[in-house]
Amino acid sequence: MPGKGDRGGVKEKPKDAKGALKRIISYLMEYKWVVLLLLVCAFASNIGNLLGPRFAGKAIGEAEAGFKAGIGMVNMAAVKRYALYMLIAYIGSNLLTFTVNISMMRVGRRVARNMRRDVFEKLMKLPVGYFDRNQAGDIISRVSYDIDVVALSLSTDVIHIITSTVTVVGSFIMMCTISIPLVLCMLFTIPVSVLFTRRMAKKTRPRYARRSAAYGEMNGFAEEMFTGQKTILAYAHEDQVCDNFSEINRAAAEAYKNADGLGMTMGPTIGMISNFGLAAIGMGGAVLYLLKIVGLEQISSFVLYSRKFSGPINEISNIINEIFSALAASERVFKLLDEPEEAKDIYGAKELADCEGHVEAEHVQFGYLPGKTILHDLNLEAKPGQTVAIVGPTGAGKTTIINLLMRFYDPDSGRILVDGSENREYTMESLRRAYAMVLQDTWVFNGTIFDNIAYGKDDATFDEVVAAAKAARIHNYIMRLPNGYNTVISEDGGNISKGQKQLLTIARAMLYDNNMLILDEATSNVDTNTERQVQRAIRSLMKGKTSFVIAHRLSTIQNADRILVVNGGDVVEQGSHEELMLQKGFYYRLYASQFE
């Protein structure tokens, strides 16, 4: 699976097409009785199609017998009767086919809905590391494009390949009952068609896998560029981005052409092989007619059956391409569904209720990748109600410490304790709900301002939301909006400023009352005057709570009970602001550099 920055795509062919097919069928089994009924209807439809040529041959036979007996001796009543039977057979067959196609399309849509539900629920259970390693656009491509490919294949291909098989077998049986010599005339086309289809299938299957990967890569790039549109414009980088997209788009188009271009040659080639068979039938039929071995009734019926025999073979060759495309897409979906989920709660895990907020880290070592350690030997203690500030240069490991406290990741060695028990002993949900968070990367969703502030507290009242907004110094701004707290924020908060989004997330944390608080550059997107107001609100919020504060502006954390100075994955200094300034070490130099 391509990670961020990997533009190469997937080069290997599907590894387990049979396994993917079984898993797709398992989704169909939820509607097994509906599918079974549709298969019966499809079978009946094919029987009607197979009876048509027989009735046509009978009508021609009656006409031939009449002409041989003398002009005017044709039994028109019998001809009309067989023509009526043929008409009824074809109309009934087409009505059943229409019903089957519409119903199977609905089944395919329901299967797609269930697959999307499972994928989305799976995404909610995956660890944070999965989203760090994979492009958002590639994940979205699996949820939308790949599942749509599978659904389309289910809607059309499953029934078609079964009905085509029935038509081929039924037509062959009917041809055998008409004339074995004529069957021998066209028999050579069958092994040629089968061998050609198998050979082409081996070539097209890996190409469809590359096509799905290329589309996921293109979606990932587009999502990244749309997210950073303002930065692109600010740096006048449009031409370079367009050039990069053109290259990725060219690769996706090339992958599409390589897969579908080769696949589209299968149908015409099989058709050409079938036409050779039809030519052989014409020549052989003429000879057999002159030898009076077969009559016009047999020849006409045989020709019609031969077309019904070769037609589905052409369809099957095209359907096989679509099935391989669906299997390649489904493997990407199932690969996501098979990703290891976030660590489960241990047996007997307890709820973290009435949290006091006593947090300790003992000899914690951690790295995101094997062999690349970020935190070497972290030790810290935050007593209930204390404020612990974490400072240091970029890349020192500050955010990593927060990730470990929240159990987004687990330490490679050492342990983290909350209220005297290792954090693994608590349920994941209760541990995370014990923290409120305000991050530098603000997140708001498409909904009202009220819903965004009340997020995480389902029973929040309007008065509580207003009180939180006032404490975060954003109430006055909200009231100036046309619909106040019912104003709808666009997707990703595009219609409000970054500072306003950050104030909304601060209000959300204020409403979410608990005993531990994490602030990661919580005022980085507000102006200096607003920052002073928000800092007062935050200090009020932090009263009585164990707080972890990441800050680059050291002037904002001078009142912290303890300051951890992190550099290169190690806590190089710790103490109060005054103590660290007296040491005139790393913290002193950091502080001094901001006030030069």
58 CB-near residues (< 8 Å, 6+ apart): 78, 82, 297
Query: Mean pLDDT in the chain?
Result: 78
pLDDT of 172 above 70: yes
CA angle 563, 551, 500 (to 5 degrees): 145
Encoded amino acid at 397, one letter: G
Q: With 0-12 CB in 10 A as exposed, 13-18 as middle and 19+ as buried, what is 576?
A: middle
Domain segments of the chain: what residues? 112-337, 362-392+552-596, 443-516+527-544
Q: DSSP string of 508-564?
A: HHHHS--SEEEEESTTTTS-HHHHHHHHHHHHHHHTTSEEEEE-SSGGGGTT-SEEE
pLDDT at 1: 35
DSSP 591: H
Q: Are 317 and 270 in contact (CB under 8 A)?
A: yes
Please check whether residue 311 is in contact with residue 160, taking contact to mean a CB–CB distance below 8 angstroms: no
Q: Which CATH number fits domain 112-337: 3.40.50.150, 1.10.3720.10, 1.10.340.30, 1.20.1560.10?
A: 1.20.1560.10
- Residue 13's pLDDT is 44
The 3-class SS string of 221-240 reads HHHHHHHCHHHHHHCCCHHH
Q: How many CB atoms lie within 10 A of CB 327?
A: 25
- Residue 344 is given by DSSP the state P
Q: What is the pLDDT of residue 70?
A: 57
- Radius of gyration (C-alpha) of the chain in whole angstroms: 35
pLDDT range class, residue 455, cuts 50, 70, 90: confident
Decide if 523 contacts 556 (C-beta within 8 A). Answer: yes
Please give the residue that has the higher pLDDT: either 189 or 32. 32
Whole-model pTM: value is 0.66
**pLDDT band, very low/low/confident/very high, at 6 (cuts 50, 70, 90):** very low
pLDDT greater than 80 at residue 118: yes
Q: What per-residue confidence (pLDDT) applies to 406?
A: 86
pLDDT at 441: 72
Nearest of 125, 129, 549 to residue 366 by alpha carbon: 129
Q: What is the pLDDT of residue 72?
A: 55
Q: Range with the lowest mean pLDDT among 322-326, 409-413, 471-475?
A: 322-326
**Residue 417, strand partner residues:** 360, 422
Provide the pairing of β-strand 387-391 with 562-567. Answer: parallel
Helices 76-125 and 296-337 cross at an angle (nearest 10°) of 10
**Mean pLDDT, to the nearest integer, of 577-591?**
86
What was the pLDDT predicted at 63?
Answer: 65
pLDDT of residue 140: 81
Q: Which range is least confidently modeled, 4-8, 67-71, 155-159, 220-224?
A: 4-8
Query: DSSP letter at 585?
Result: S
Q: Give 267's contacts (C-beta < 8 A, 6+ positions apart).
A: 314, 315, 317, 318
HEC sequence for 408-473? CCCCCEEEEEECCEEHHHECHHHHHHCEEEECCCCCCCCEEHHHHHCCCCCCCCHHHHHHHHHHCC
- Region 322-343: mean pLDDT is 83
Q: What is the pLDDT of residue 120?
A: 87
**Span 59-83, mean pLDDT?**
67
Least Cα distance to 207 among 255, 264, 253, 249 occurs for: 255
Residue 510 has pLDDT above 60, yes or no: yes
Q: What is the pLDDT of residue 356?
A: 86
> What integer pLDDT is reported at residue 487 of this predicted model?
87
Q: By percentage, how much of the chain surpasses pLDDT 70?
A: 81
Fold that domain 443-516+527-544 belongs to in CATH: Rossmann fold (3.40.50)
Helix 32-69 crosses helix 147-178 at what angle (to 10 degrees)?
30
Could you give the percent of the chain with pLDDT greater than 90? 0
Digit-coded pLDDT (tens) for 539-551: 777 777 888 888 7
Task: Tell me the mean pLDDT in the region 67-85.
Answer: 69
What's residue 8's pLDDT? 34
Where is average pLDDT lowest: 53-62, 410-419, 437-446, 581-590? 53-62
3-state secondary structure of 384: coil
pLDDT tens-digit readout, 204-263: 767 777 777 777 677 777 766 766 665 666 556 677 778 887 888 888 887 777 777 666
- Whether 5 shows a pLDDT value over 50: the answer reads no
Interatomic CA distance for residues 377 and 382, integer angstroms: 17
Q: How much is the pLDDT for 82?
A: 76
Q: At how many degrees (to 10) do helices 238-256 and 189-227 cross?
A: 160
pLDDT at 512: 76
Determine how β-strand 375-382 pairs with β-strand 359-366: antiparallel
Is residue 91 over pLDDT 50? Answer: yes
At residue 524, does pLDDT exceed 70?
Answer: no
pLDDT bracket for residue 66 (50, 70, 90): low
DSSP 491: G
Give the pLDDT confidence score for residue 291 in this predicted structure.
74
